[in-house]
A = this chain, B = another copy of it.
Amino acid sequence: MEWCASRCCYFRDPRMTSSSQKHQFTIVVVVLQAIFMILFGLFAKYDENTMPNGSDDLSSMSSKYPMFQDTHVMIFIGFGFLMTFLKRYGFSAVSINMLLACFTIEWGMIVRGVLSEEFHTNGRFIIGIDQLLTADFAAAVVLITMGAMLGKLTPIQYLIMTLIETPIAIFIEHHVVHTFHVNDIGGSIVVHTFGAYFGLACSKTFGNKRQRDHENEGSIYHSDIYAMIGAIFLWVFWPSFNAVMAEPADARQRAVCNTFLSLCACTITTFLASQATDHHKKFDMVHIANSTLAGGVAIGTIANVVLHPLHALLIGVIAGLLSVVGYKYITPLLTSKLGIHDTCGVNNLHGMPGVLAGLLSAILVMVYDPLDYGKSLNLIYPAMRSESNADGISASSQALNQLIGLALVLVSSLTSGLLTGLLLKLDMLNQVRENEFYADGDYFETPSDYDFTTQVISRIDHIEISEHTHLTHDEIKMVDDVPSDRSRS
Contact = CB atoms under 8 A, between A and B. Distances in A.
A446 B250 contact: no
A461 B456 contact: yes
Contacts of A103: 268
A116 to B, nearest CB: 14
Contact of A54 (B55, B90, B226, B374): B374
Contacts of A317: 33, 37
B26 A272 contact: yes
A423 interface: no
Interface string A66-91: 11011011001100110010010011
A22 interface: yes
Nearest to A281: B22
A281 B465 contact: no
A102 interface: yes
B308 A45 contact: yes
A487 B54 CA distance: 63
A167 to B, nearest CB: 17
A282 B33 contact: no
Contacts of A94: 225, 228, 232
- Return the 7 tightest CB-CB contacts between A and B, nearest first: A448-B458, A41-B310, A66-B66, A102-B264, A102-B267, A44-B309, A449-B457
Nearest to A270: B99
A60 B281 CA distance: 44
A232 B226 CA distance: 14
A7 interface: yes
Nearest to A26: B276
Given A127-B257, A249-B58, A461-B452, A65 B65 contact: no
A103 B40 CA distance: 44
B77 A46 contact: no
Interface string A234-260: 011100100000001111111011001
Given A11-B280, A57-B249, 8 more contacts: A29-B268, A45-B308, A46-B254, A52-B254, A52-B373, A55-B250, A56-B249, A95-B271
Contacts of A236: 69, 72-73, 76-77
A292 B62 CA distance: 27
B59 A59 contact: no
Contact of A69 (B237, B276, B459): B237
Interface string A279-316: 01111110010001000000000000001111001100
Interface stretch (A186-194, A346-354, A468-476): A468-476
Counting chain B CB atoms within 10 Å of each CB, which of A53, A235, A281 scores highest? A281
Interface stretch (A197-205, A215-223, A333-341, A359-367): A215-223
22 contacts: A29-B271, A29-B272, A37-B265, A46-B307, A46-B308, A50-B254, A55-B248, A60-B253, A61-B252, A69-B240, A87-B447, A98-B267, A98-B288, A102-B263, A102-B264, A105-B264, A220-B447, A282-B444, A452-B460, A452-B464, A453-B457, A471-B476
Contacts of A272: 25-26, 29-30, 33
A427 interface: no
A463 interface: yes
Nearest to A33: B268
A236 B73 CA distance: 6
B285 A250 contact: no
A477 interface: yes
